[in-house]
Structure 1
Amino acid sequence: MELGLEVAPPHPRETLARLGSEFGVPPAVRKRAIELLGELNAVKAGTGCNPAGIAAGCLYLTACEFECSLTQREIATAAEISVVTLRARMEDLIDLRE
């Protein structure tokens, strides 16, 4: 029996925590990725975007800053998004920083 209730997608922060844990990234990387996510939320950027894509973009950019060896393909696969989506969210984040 189906109740007909809608299930909300997970918040990007939840996905970010899962990805960080899955890849075993250092706490400093996780903390910075969460800060980046907060900056994105503060300006309402990313509204309407896949939450997993936003989380993956934050994690990948932060991992690059900290020179962690994660590939776009690894993160995209774990987040269940395409590499194209990951790159689009990264571009959004880079634009936000400028």
Structure 2
Amino acid sequence: MSKHRKRWSESEKKAILQYYQEHGASSAARQFEVSTSMIYRWASELSPSVLKEVETTISSKEYHRLLRENQALKELVAEKELEIRIKDALLKKTSPLSKSG
């Protein structure tokens, strides 16, 4: 391993952050041989205008579709949770161990 520190240009940082946005910090760290902590630091230090260039944008239509999908998934999870609670309650009532005799 090199004892010299690598200096990253702004364009390199942007490229790494773009890759990070698409593939995650671990993958970006391996791909560009940089630590994940450095990637997180760059993301927090860069000004919001620079981050806007890096971020992938989605259309308003796609955003609303994702909101609807998220809401539907939340409702599905809530229904499943309710089913589990009802089954647990019924099992407690009918369990032979719960009867004293």
The TM-score, its normalising length taken from structure 2, stands at: 0.32
Q: Which has the larger radius of gyration?
A: 2
Q: Which has the higher contact order (CA 8 A, sep 6+)?
A: 1
Which has the larger share of helix? 2
The TM-score, its normalising length taken from structure 1, stands at: 0.33
